[in-house]
Structure 1
Amino acid sequence: MVSVTRRTGARGKDRRLAVEDKLQQAMERLLEQGHSFTQVSVEQLAAEADIARATFYLHFRDKGELVARLMARVTEEVVGATRAASPQTRSRSELRRMIKAVVDVYRRHYAVMAAIVETAAYDAQVEQLFRQMMDTLIGVNRRLQQQMKQAGQPRTPPLVADVVTWAFERSCHQLVRNRKPAQVNALVDALTHVVWNAMYVPQDGGDAD
């Protein structure tokens, strides 16, 4: 017998995604209004998302499962934005476009990302989820670093991928909120400079355009 507490099949997946969208937007609105990440209740989320409390529990066991899924979705968006990077990326302008796309993801989801970082300092479950997200992103840059090495790019110290990933996250956490377009562009330029010189500089040391 199919459980009434979980949707299955394509239709069920579509419904779950629709509910996720509503709940993610509701969570971001509540956080932007100054509510605490850990204190936001299922009842508040359901009311803000304009869904029944019972609908929430049709798709998620508890708020922790929702938080894990929201973090996974943000991670997926960030990884998707990095797909332009490859050992064949020889142009700073190409790299800048990719970095701008990643920064835009952070900007769209800043409220959730900031709350996760702050909550991770005292909530072990959220800290674990945050670490898993960062490990995923570090893994992307480690694979890129290895691919570039195999493609003949200059050697870089082993921890460069880790440092670049954490520097990127910290920069977005500190420098994207309430910034004007010109300030965001300045951040993108700075990140492009750092990542290019750390991972993409051609063997002759010049800057390719």
Structure 2
Amino acid sequence: MPSLTRGRRPARKSDDERRAEFEQRVLRAVEDLLADGTPYTEIAVQKIAATAEVARSTFYRYFPDKSRLLIRMAELATSDLFAAAERWWSAEHTDREVGVRNAMSAMIAGFRRHRYLLLALSELASYDRDVGAYWRGRVAGFVELVRHRLEADRAAGRVAPELDPAATALVLAAMVERSISTAFAVRTGISDAELARTLGRSIWLVVYGDAPAGPA
């Protein structure tokens, strides 16, 4: 007869759960190693595996090279960062600058949490083919979201008819990306709150600053 006092065995973790835990350990290890100023290209796989306390064989099973590693780490680090902006562009814009300022605050907070990794991503994207292709594709997807929203707003008469959705979407995405990256790459003396307020105001004025007057 089975013992009534014997504890139940904990449920075995699924492959997805084990992978998620593994990736989070590697993400923390990479960010810890980058935090001391070591360039990403100079961090050896052996060092990453040792810091994450994983076997090199396990590491290579998930990440065949450091480019793929950086891409996956960037996917994890930017998921919330992009989601904040995407939610605002998909929502009703009835609160003037408040909503976009809050979205910028969330993006900046996400960048601050993962700043070392995202600065490394920005650097490698300029010369690593795979990393560059990933990042350009990610930004391009966001630009398309903004373009579609601006097209809908123009069709509904919510923005000036002269506004070009494609060009405006590209300019706004580049402005936000470069502004946040520059603010974290050098000491500007600008607070996160002020950066969010200024970006939010800039976006609002570009999109709605010359919008047609509403009904009296």
State the TM-score, normalizing by the size of structure 2.
0.80
Consecutive unaligned residues of structure 1, counting only runs of 5 or more, are 1-9
The aligned length equals: 196
- Determine helix, strand or coil for the equivalent of 1:159: helix
Q: Does 1:188 align with 2:196?
A: yes
Q: Give 1:90's aligned amino acid.
A: T
Q: Does 1:105 align with 2:113?
A: no
Equivalent position to 1:70, from 56, 69, 73: 73
Asked whether the 8 Å contact 1:138–1:162 carries over to 2, the reply is yes
RMSD of equivalent CA atoms: 2.4
Residue 4 of structure 2 corresponds to: none
Q: Does 1:94 align with 2:99?
A: yes
Equivalent position to 2:138, from 129, 133, 148: 133
Equivalent position to 1:159, from 167, 180, 194: 167
Q: How far does residue 197 in structure 1 lie from its aligned partner after superposition?
A: 0.8
- Determine helix, strand or coil for the equivalent of 2:43: coil
Q: How far does residue 181 in structure 1 lie from its aligned partner after superposition?
A: 10
Consecutive unaligned residues of structure 2, counting only runs of 5 or more, are 1-12
Asked whether the 8 Å contact 1:153–1:203 carries over to 2, the reply is yes
- Determine helix, strand or coil for the equivalent of 1:152: coil
Q: How far does residue 177 in structure 1 lie from its aligned partner after superposition?
A: 5.6
Asked whether the 8 Å contact 2:119–2:185 carries over to 1, the reply is no
Asked whether the 8 Å contact 1:46–1:52 carries over to 2, the reply is yes
State the TM-score, normalizing by the size of structure 1.
0.82
Residue 46 of structure 1 corresponds to: 49
**What per-residue deviation string (whole Å, max 9, x for no partner) do you get for residues 103-142 of structure 1?**
1111111111111222233322222222122212222322
Q: Distance in 1 between matches of 2:92 and 2:150?
A: 12
Q: Distance in 1 between matches of 2:212 and 2:30?
A: 46
Q: Give 2:94's aligned amino acid.
A: R
Q: Does 1:114 align with 2:119?
A: yes
Runs of 4+ in structure 1 over 4 Å off? 177-182
Q: Distance in 1 between matches of 2:24 and 2:156?
A: 40
- Kindly name which structure, 1 or 2, has the bigger radius of gyration based on alpha carbons: 2
Equivalent position to 1:11, from 8, 14, 17: 14
Q: Distance in 2 between matches of 1:184 and 1:79?
A: 17
